């Protein structure tokens, strides 16, 4: 059998392995709480189904062609681009809010927890800004 979609094949192998491992753990070390056990088995079976579907599609030439057309579709790429941009903007505002809460909380309570919240929120904003700057310079140079 020939593998037409290597990315789909590897994701299928990972999903199938994760589902099989989780199902094995659910059977061997089952939870005493029945709803938790049922939820774990359902999630394991879902992982197995996703993995097996990806594996089957990786071996099918027509499915691989459909996947590539879907992946290269301009509308899907535009939606993905806009979604990623909006997500980054929302996360930036949440980081800024966390930093402000950290500053105000530390100023009023002098608790180290708020100081660390400010520190990690500020650090993540800095890392995001540096990565954004590097990506902008790279794309300006190569496009």
- pLDDT tens sequence across 62-116: 988 988 888 888 888 899 999 999 999 999 999 999 999 999 999 999 899 999 9
pTM: 0.61
127 has pLDDT over 80 = yes
3-class secondary-structure state, position 55: helix
133 has pLDDT over 90 = yes
Q: Based on the number of CB atoms within 10 Å of its own CB, is 112 exposed (0-12), middle (13-18) or buried (19 or more)? A: exposed
Contacts of 54 (CB under 8 A, 6+ apart): 8, 9, 11, 12, 15, 16
**What does the domain layout of the chain look like in residue ranges?**
6-72, 74-142
């Amino acid at each position: 059998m020939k593998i037409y979609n290597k990315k789909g094949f590897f994701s299928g192998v990972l999903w199938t392995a994760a589902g099989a491992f989780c199902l094995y753990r659910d059977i061997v070390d089952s939870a005493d709480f029945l709803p938790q056990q049922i939820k774990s088995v359902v999630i394991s079976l879902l992982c197995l189904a996703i993995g097996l579907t990806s594996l089957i599609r990786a071996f099918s030439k027509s499915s691989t062609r459909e996947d590539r057309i879907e992946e290269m579709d301009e509308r899907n790429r535009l939606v993905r681009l806009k979604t990623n941009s909006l997500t980054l903007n929302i996360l930036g505002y949440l980081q800024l809010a966390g930093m402000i809460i950290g500053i105000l909380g530390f100023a009023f309570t002098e608790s180290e927890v708020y100081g660390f919240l400010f520190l990690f929120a500020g650090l993540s904003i800095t890392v995001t800004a540096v990565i954004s700057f590097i990506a902008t310079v790279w794309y300006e140079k190569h496009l």
